[in-house]
Amino acid sequence: FRSVDFAWLKSRLTLPVIVDGRNLFEPEAVKAKGLLYYAVGRGDSLQ
């Protein structure tokens, strides 16, 4: 599912949330389609 039509997916979801457990998608590409995006293990800062 690396090639996903996020606009289509958003229209089918009750809550427009994507939880990406494998970090397959680019966060900005998903957010640009109006979805809330959470990537497991990917943060805003390095520790």
SS3 sequence, 1-47? CCCCCHHHHHHHCCCCEEEECCCCCCHHHHHHCCCEEEECCCCCCCC
pLDDT at 2: 63
- C-alpha pair distances (Å), 3 with each of 10, 14, 42, 43, 45: 14, 21, 20, 23, 27
- Within the chain, what is the greatest distance between any pair of CA atoms? 36
Report pLDDT digits (tens) over 2-47.
689 999 999 999 999 999 999 999 999 999 999 999 988 876 643 4
Structure tokens at 8: 């289509």
- pTM, two decimal places: 0.73
pLDDT at 47: 45
